[in-house]
Amino acid sequence: MTTPSHSDPTAWMSELLNAQQAMLRAWSEPMPAATDRRFAGEAWQKDPRYELMASNYLSYARLLCGAIDGAAADARSKAQWQFALRQVLDTLSPANCLATNPEALELAVASGGASLAEGMRLFLQDVAKGRISMTDEQAFEVGRNVATTPGSVVFENELIQLIQYAPTTLKVHKRPLLIVPPCINKFYILDLQPDNSLVAHAVAQGHTVFLVSWRNVSAAQGHLGWDDYLELGVIAAIDTALAVSGADRVNTLGFCVGGTLLACALAVLAARGERKASSMTLLTAMLDFRDTGEIGLLVDEEMVTRREAAIGRGGVLQGRELAQVFASLRANDLIWPYVVNGYLKGKAPPAFDLLFWNGDDTNLPGPMFCWYLRNAYLENKLREPGATVQCGEAVDFGSIDVPAFLYASRDDHIVPWHTAYATTGLLGGDTTFVLGASGHIAGVINPPAKAKRNHWVGKAGAQPQAWLETAEAVPGSWWPAWTKWLARQAGAQVAAPKNAGNRKYPAIEPAPGRYVKEKAS
């Protein structure tokens, strides 16, 4: 942080006055508590004491945030302080304390203390679990009522299982679709329920769909690195899908970090002179890590070096730790509502498939995670041609000369949409960019039948904001635009396969397979 030089008293006084004026404005303009959903309930509004408490809390929070905005510091430092301050302010909300939450107090009186007893039971239950419950976890079971699209595991190694889904059409496109989901979560976000399954949708459009199921690694796989995720993961899956389908090439799709892995693998194959993909779809994925949103504020040289010393040569990054980081980015959505409703009000969370998936933690090998952290988030080397050597090859995304469909979500707090847009300038083939409404997950999982949200389409240009200003807003899901584009890359229609796998790769077990059911230890 820099401050005005004392040798320039005029500039110093000006900075001081500006900061004081910002603080006075924040304090003198009370924030109406009803505008914040934490304090919008009737109990907060009917008692002026609680309404004043909430209003003062919001005004004081704005005062502190304004003081940081007015500080003489660089943008990154300010953003880091704002992030840290928000964690403190969110924690100190009067809604989070029994003594200052009128809704919880009224419920305690009305129930004769039963709500407090139930809240204590839920609290102790979560202490035993080591995490806050966000849904009724007993309501779901992988393979029973989530991840239910029929298929078979046709290949496995120490890192992945490869699922081939059963066709639902008499004919399928000659070129199959290979899906690479993120390895930091279980794959079934793409196959939650039949009515919102991207996997089932692609199958219904006449594609033979293969999908990578990443292993929830244990100490036995703690030695695996980034190159292993390319060779044993993506490249092995591509080769198997080609061998089983008999196609000349595969269409490929990568979601989030799965998209980063996919692009790196295709660049490695291109460096080897192997053209095995006919197209690439990236969903909310980053190849240029110049602006990574709030996650990037947590990454610096000291943090990365510490991680490398701890697990960089072997070990496991616990999935629970990653989950806590992501939850902290949206604490008022993913932490405190469950504390208040559960522990203060004694209300167990309802069944919600998305939150069941969100709580299904996945571990990562330390060497793989540390390589990714340094080369992507810290040093942003992936985007530079030849700056990284992966699987023995100098990686250049410009060598990926296949048609690419790039999707981003406008309110994504994990992959900012303008960062995803930067990929349009890195690839060597024609690119189609589509921007959807909502966030990282809800924007992607948006089936057409629900007729929700909208998306934007337009001709890719140099700057994301200029693209948005000229893009056309289209009602509803982006899925139809993608499936129409994908059909053009998928080849002629042929008879659908009668059985999964082939003689070399016979079916091992029914989908969703064993790996996705392994729990993080």
Give one DSSP letter per residue of 377-407, joined into a string: IIT--TTSTTSSEETTEE--GGG--S-EEEE
The H-assigned helical ranges of 366-497 are 366-372, 417-421, 464-470, 479-489
Query: Would residue 390 count as lying in a domain?
Result: yes
Question: Are 378 and 296 a contacting pair, CB within 8 Å?
Answer: no
Among residues 65, 97, 256, 391, the one annotated as catalytic is: 256
Q: What is the mean pLDDT of residues 440-447?
A: 95
Number of domains within the chain = 2
Do 155 and 95 belong to one domain? Answer: no
Mean pLDDT, rounded, of the chain? 92
Do 165 and 239 belong to one domain? Answer: yes
Please compute, for residue 315, the number of CA atoms within 13 A of its CA located in the half-sphere on the CB side: 12
Cis-peptide into 385, omega within 30 deg: no
In this prediction, residue 420 carries a pLDDT of 96
- Is a pLDDT exceeding 90 seen at residue 16? no
Query: Would residue 132 count as lying in a domain?
Result: no
- Is a pLDDT exceeding 60 seen at residue 505? yes
For residue range 306-346, what is the model confidence (pLDDT) as tens digits? Answer: 999 999 999 999 998 988 888 888 899 989 999 999 999 99
- 3-class SS of residue 416: coil
Query: Would residue 273 count as lying in a domain?
Result: yes
For residue range 160-178, what is the model confidence (pLDDT) as tens digits? Answer: 999 999 999 999 999 999 9
Question: For the stretch 281-295, what's the b/e string if a residue is b when 16 or more beta carbons lie within 10 angstroms of its beta carbon?
Answer: bbbbbbbbbeebebb
In this prediction, residue 10 carries a pLDDT of 57
Query: Would residue 6 count as lying in a domain?
Result: no
Boundary (domain end) residue, out of 100, 121, 141 = 100
- Is a pLDDT exceeding 70 seen at residue 1? no
In this prediction, residue 2 carries a pLDDT of 41
Task: For residue 259, give the CATH number of its domain.
Answer: 3.40.50.1820
Do 84 and 196 belong to one domain? Answer: no
Q: What is the mean pLDDT of residues 77-83?
A: 91
Do 213 and 283 belong to one domain? Answer: yes
- 3-class SS of residue 46: helix
Quickly state the pLDDT bin for 18 (edges 50, 70, 90): low
- 3-class SS of residue 205: coil
Do 50 and 166 belong to one domain? Answer: no
- Is a pLDDT exceeding 90 seen at residue 478? yes
What is the span of the domain harbouring residue 309?
A: 151-318+361-517
CA distance 86 to 336: 13
Query: Would residue 163 count as lying in a domain?
Result: yes
Do 94 and 174 belong to one domain? Answer: no
Specify which residues 456 forms β-bridges with.
435, 473
- Is a pLDDT exceeding 70 seen at residue 497? yes
Among residues 96, 200, 110, the alpha carbon closest in space to that of 150 is found at: 200
For residue range 86-115, what is the model confidence (pLDDT) as tens digits? Answer: 999 999 999 999 999 999 999 999 999 999
Q: What is the mean pLDDT of residues 294-308?
A: 94
Do 206 and 287 belong to one domain? Answer: yes
- Is a pLDDT exceeding 80 seen at residue 4? no
- Is a pLDDT exceeding 90 seen at residue 149? yes
Query: Would residue 327 count as lying in a domain?
Result: no
Do 221 and 308 belong to one domain? Answer: yes
Determine the straight-line distance between the first and last CA of the chain, rounded to whole angstroms: 41
- Is a pLDDT exceeding 70 seen at residue 24? no
Question: Are 430 and 403 a contacting pair, CB within 8 Å?
Answer: yes
Quickly state the pLDDT bin for 452 (edges 50, 70, 90): confident
If residue 51 lies in a helix (H) or strand (E), which one and from where to where?
Answer: helix 48-69
Do 178 and 31 belong to one domain? Answer: no
Do 367 and 297 belong to one domain? Answer: yes
In this prediction, residue 17 carries a pLDDT of 52
For residue range 228-256, what is the model confidence (pLDDT) as tens digits? Answer: 999 999 999 999 999 999 999 999 999 99
Q: What is the mean pLDDT of residues 191-205?
A: 96
Asked about 391 being catalytic, the answer comes back as no
Q: Which two tokens stand for residue 237?
A: 């899956």
Query: Would residue 196 count as lying in a domain?
Result: yes
Quickly state the pLDDT bin for 14 (edges 50, 70, 90): low
- pTM higher than 0.85 for the full model? yes
Do 179 and 293 belong to one domain? Answer: yes
- Is a pLDDT exceeding 70 seen at residue 36? yes
Q: What is the mean pLDDT of residues 204-218?
A: 97
Among residues 404, 151, 175, the alpha carbon closest in space to that of 287 is found at: 404
Do 58 and 180 belong to one domain? Answer: no
Torsion of CA 207, 273, 424, 192, to 10 degrees: 30
- Residue 15 CB coordination number (10 Å): 16
For residue range 357-382, what is the model confidence (pLDDT) as tens digits? Answer: 999 999 999 999 999 999 999 999 99
If residue 277 lies in a helix (H) or strand (E), which one and from where to where?
Answer: strand 277-283
If residue 204 lies in a helix (H) or strand (E), which one and from where to where?
Answer: helix 198-204
Q: What is the mean pLDDT of residues 451-467?
A: 89
**DSSP secondary structure letter of residue 289:** -
